[in-house]
Amino acid sequence: MPADATAAPSRLPPLLALASRVRSAGVLAHALALALFGVALGARFAINPWLDAGFPFLTFFPAIVLATFFCGRGPGSVCGALSVLSAWYWFIPPFGSFSLHGSGGLAVGFFVLICIVDILVIDLLIVVLNRQQQLQAQSDMLLAQRTVLFQELQHRVANNLMLMGAVLGEQERRLSDIPQARDAVADARRRFDMLSRLHRQLHDPERLDAPIDQLLPGLCSDLLSGLGRSGLSLRMEVQSVPLAIEAKMNLCLLVMELLTNAAKHAFQDRTEGGLWVSLARDGDGLVLRVEDDGHGKSPPTLPGDLDGRAAAAARTALGAHGLGTRIAQGLARALRGELSIGERPGGGTSVQLRFRPPAAPGAA
């Protein structure tokens, strides 16, 4: 965090950074202002033969501006005072004196006014820029602190999820003689593990803006590995679409839920099979498909009354005990869509979701 604050001045434009260093140099700033005045006076004498009497202050304006910008209000004021006196004495008639006749007094007064305005405006500009840099440094420090706190919070949440999964795993081992209870606890443990992995992926500050096509394949591969179904092949066709963080999480949870149920129920008597996941644009919405080549029949649209073969196929696709169905349908509603189940061409089950989630902030 301190590195961010100390690095702030280096982000100044080169001229502003140089001006800040010169202004803080004290004697050097006054010496530079006097040098600028000397250059302006010498240049005015050099071009005097080619100028009319109406240009007494020509070379002094840049010197005053540069002296104020680089050296500060005090040295700039010294440069301005010397410039006024020099122009008045040598370049305003009568030459070689401080007498004023006719329009000479008006010219000197106008030049003094311009000098005062230039010095005040430039000095105010530098003060504002320096203040802005200080605020930027504070903002960088606060952002770094917030990032650290955010990472710590997400780390603790993910650890708590893993701890709950470990507790459920211990309960699963203790219930080895009660198959139904053991299976229910195992399902809960797998979902805690899935949430923990997803939470770490989606709430990593460096991956908040990662597109769904970069997040989903890794999560699905990890899921199948965690389920111990290495014999199932997974093919994914996911388009890069902008999604808000909440919609991204709900979509990942839905895909992982559907894959979990397919791996558990569609391949009960098989060790090998195929799974397909696709996400594509469809008009002004999106279409998600999760398909398998396992045991599938041709069921109607969900939600609705399911009976006979349709109900059997729905249980195969979304969980034999109804929990998968409720979770999937809840996630679908959160995505502003509705699940439908059909028969995959060539055999198996196809679960489809058409939805229109809120886009990510700033997305076109």
Predicted confidence pLDDT, tens digits, the chain (364 residues): 344 433 334 455 777 778 888 888 888 889 999 999 999 999 999 998 887 767 888 899 999 999 999 988 999 999 999 999 999 899 888 888 888 777 788 888 989 999 999 999 998 988 888 888 888 888 888 888 887 777 777 677 777 777 777 777 777 777 777 877 877 777 777 777 777 766 666 666 566 667 888 888 888 887 787 777 778 889 999 988 888 878 888 898 899 889 888 887 788 777 788 899 999 998 888 999 999 988 754 443 444 444 444 444 444 445 444 667 788 888 888 888 888 888 888 888 899 999 987 665 555 4
In this predicted structure, what is the pLDDT of residue 190? 74
In this predicted structure, what is the pLDDT of residue 206? 60
In this predicted structure, what is the pLDDT of residue 60? 93
Cβ neighbours around 239 below 10 Å, total: 13
How far apart CA 66 and CA 129 sit, in angstroms, is: 17
- Contact by Cβ (8 Å): 211, 241: yes
- CB burial of residue 81 (10 Å; 0-12, 13-18, 19+): middle
In this predicted structure, what is the pLDDT of residue 222? 79
- Return the SS3 of 267: coil
In this predicted structure, what is the pLDDT of residue 62? 92
How far apart CA 166 and CA 288 sit, in angstroms, is: 32
Taking the model in full, what pTM does it have? Answer: 0.52
Tell me which residue has tokens 């963080």: 245
Bridge partner residues of 290 (DSSP): 277, 351
How far apart CA 74 and CA 122 sit, in angstroms, is: 12
- CB burial of residue 361 (10 Å; 0-12, 13-18, 19+): exposed
In this predicted structure, what is the pLDDT of residue 85? 93
Q: What is the dihedral of CA 339, 343, 345, 347, to 10 degrees?
A: 130
In this predicted structure, what is the pLDDT of residue 304? 43
How far apart CA 315 and CA 296 sit, in angstroms, is: 10
